[in-house]
Structure 1
Amino acid sequence: MSRPLCRRCCRPLSHCLCALIPSLDSRTRVLILQHPSEVKHALNTARLAALGLVNAELCVGEVFAELQGWLERPGYQSCLLFPGEGAQPLASLPSDMPLQLVVPDGTWRKAAKLLHMNPLLATLPRVTLAEGGVSRYRLRKAPMAGALSTIEAIVQALDSLEAPRQFGELLRPFEALIEGQIAAMGEDVFKRNHAVGPARHCDEADKSAFPPARE
């Protein structure tokens, strides 16, 4: 028999995270495009990000028929937060117009598929995060050193774009989620299976995150 779920955070009612989710406004709009395979994942950080930001939207799918309208939202300049050829560090962008940050959410392979199936995304200016980000996401192996989960990437991006304002409060439910998962599996099991080591930054099939900019 399945446990009753919170309709908002989609966690079991006994482990609801809603009390920890902030309501943060931002000049930057965040549009998260989530691959369907991530929706029911226990560690759905994109949903936590969307719930915690007033100026954010989470859209689930593989092909987004309404994408052009979303990208042409009045008053915003859209850009794609994803590494690739020609990507610029966020800090180098002009600040005269609010940005709409388009963030694909999924494994590296699924995120790349979203870009392939939605060619309009390739027309956007591409931006990346600054180097030095350290992930707190201890339950998934990063594909490379410096990779961040979706919610961590969004926080780092907003911190950069809207400095000196900081958005670390958005990570409170994320950190509680990680701690709860570790407690449920037991410290010994966690250390045996998830402790970070040199060989654990190589599995591209694991959920990414966003690697740092390479200048």
Structure 2
Amino acid sequence: MQGQSLKRVGSFHKRCHPVAISPLTAQRSILYQTQNTEMATQSKRRSMCPACSKPTRLCLCTRLKVPKLHNSIAVTILQHSLEKKHPLNSTRIASIALQNLSVIPVSDVNSQARFLIRRLFNSNLERSSSCDQHVVGFAVDKYGTVLSFQDVWMMENGSQPRCGFDRLLASREAVDDLSKGFVVKKLQTKPLRGGIGLEGMLRDQDEEEENEEFEIRVGAGSVLLFPSERAVRVEDLRGVEVRNLVVLDGTWSKAKRMYKENPWLKLLPHVKLDVLDGMSSLYGEVRHQPKEGYFSTIESIVYALKALGEKDDEDSKGGLDDLLDVFVSMVADQRRCKDERLRQANQTNFL
């Protein structure tokens, strides 16, 4: 937060008449100052766990029955940039509990973003020179409207420019090629910040710069867990040996925006959870879900891995259910903290 300039008010106070302060008002003022000082001191002294990013007194690491689960199906989490620091973000549990896990920060497209996709070949095959060549390139604006689109299959066949991924998905050759795996790179376009002095003043306000936000390896057998119109139940998934589960982490509105602004996700088969009637999230009342059948990220991962046939380690004591137990305890921590803040607020108001 940028500091605000403070105006001098000393001369104003000199012209003011003295005002009598009651003992009760003075007592309250001293009490508030003491509380603020104590809170500031506690905030500075509060240590954080570097692994789970929780305060040390609420550390989640020691609650796991085993240090890491050796999940055979990899998990790739695309985490919205605003979700990481949320006290109830459940990806932190996956980070400390799953060995085969990747977490990729993803931000909103504020102006424009460009994506480049290249083929990914199996390591046991001879590396082709075309592996480093981009086969798909496209640009999107805010909320995912495709501004431009180009792919090598279109150019090789002399076809008309495609409108987007729907046309690409209609190409059997392109789908078969990309199903072997690909690497996607996102280049975020942002306005240049003003420099110092005359150079900054003269800089064109419309001038922009392009920075790489991520580069993700999407291996063969990757599927997206997202309840789109084309999503099928895990039990109905055909012709795919799932090796990697891609999950979107954020509020429901943020997850939908991530999906729209990253249309390359359409290249993956989509799966959804088979939710039983009356099944609800373990979040309870501490974090609102848009409707019944929507779950936290860690719940979704656990339920999906189980449906995909992920088995617990022989050495694990609690397996995947252990992750849910830790999540329940984290929610309970948040509920206690909330109740404690309410009690403190009521006591302050009473004084």
- How far residue 155 of structure 1 moved from its aligned partner, in angstroms, is 0.6
CA distance, structure 1, for counterparts of residue 216 and residue 231 of structure 2 = 21
CA RMSD in angstroms comes to 2.4
Aligned length, in residue pairs = 186
Q: TM-score under structure 2 normalisation?
A: 0.49
- How far residue 157 of structure 1 moved from its aligned partner, in angstroms, is 0.4
SS at match of 2:241: coil
SS at match of 1:37: coil
CA distance, structure 1, for counterparts of residue 239 and residue 309 of structure 2 = 9
CA distance, structure 2, for counterparts of residue 179 and residue 123 of structure 1 = 39
CA distance, structure 2, for counterparts of residue 26 and residue 91 of structure 1 = 20
In the alignment, is the contact (CA less than 8 A) between 1:47 and 1:58 conserved in 2? no
In the alignment, is the contact (CA less than 8 A) between 2:302 and 2:321 conserved in 1? yes
Q: 1:167 and 1:109, CA in 2 relative to 1: closer, same or farther beyond 3 A?
A: same
CA distance, structure 2, for counterparts of residue 107 and residue 96 of structure 1 = 29
- How far residue 96 of structure 1 moved from its aligned partner, in angstroms, is 6.6
Q: 1:15 and 1:163, CA in 2 relative to 1: closer, same or farther beyond 3 A?
A: closer
Q: Does 1:59 align with 2:104?
A: yes
CA distance, structure 1, for counterparts of residue 61 and residue 321 of structure 2 = 16
Give the residue type in structure 1 aligned to 2:338: M
Q: Does 1:180 align with 2:333?
A: yes
Q: TM-score under structure 1 normalisation?
A: 0.77
CA distance, structure 2, for counterparts of residue 99 and residue 186 of structure 1 = 42
Q: 1:95 and 1:123, CA in 2 relative to 1: closer, same or farther beyond 3 A?
A: closer
Cross-structure match for 1:29: 74
Match for residue 16 of structure 1 among 59, 63, 69: 59
CA distance, structure 1, for counterparts of residue 310 and residue 53 of structure 2 = 32
Q: Deviations over 1:100-151 (max 9, x none)?
A: 1110111122112212222211221111001214321121121111211111
In the alignment, is the contact (CA less than 8 A) between 2:71 and 2:98 conserved in 1? yes
SS at match of 1:186: helix
Cross-structure match for 1:135: 281
CA distance, structure 1, for counterparts of residue 265 and residue 105 of structure 2 = 15
Q: Does 1:151 align with 2:295?
A: no
CA distance, structure 2, for counterparts of residue 13 and residue 95 of structure 1 = 46
Q: Does 1:4 align with 2:47?
A: yes
Q: 1:116 and 1:96, CA in 2 relative to 1: closer, same or farther beyond 3 A?
A: closer
In the alignment, is the contact (CA less than 8 A) between 1:62 and 1:117 conserved in 2? no
Percent identical residues? 36
- How far residue 62 of structure 1 moved from its aligned partner, in angstroms, is 2.2
Match for residue 48 of structure 1 among 65, 68, 93: 93
Q: Name the structure with the higher strand share.
A: 2
Please identify runs of 4+ aligned residues in structure 1 that moved more than 4 A. Answer: 63-66, 163-166
Give the residue type in structure 2 aligned to 1:149: S
- Unmatched tracts of structure 2, length 5 or more: 1-39, 109-114, 117-182, 186-214, 313-318, 343-351
SS at match of 1:135: coil
- How far residue 11 of structure 1 moved from its aligned partner, in angstroms, is 0.5
Q: 1:153 and 1:173, CA in 2 relative to 1: closer, same or farther beyond 3 A?
A: same
Cross-structure match for 1:201: none
In the alignment, is the contact (CA less than 8 A) between 1:27 and 1:162 conserved in 2? no
- Unmatched tracts of structure 1, length 5 or more: 190-215
Structure ranking higher on relative contact order (CA contacts 8 Å, 6+ apart):
1
SS at match of 1:110: helix
Match for residue 70 of structure 1 among 204, 207, 216: 216
In the alignment, is the contact (CA less than 8 A) between 2:88 and 2:334 conserved in 1? no
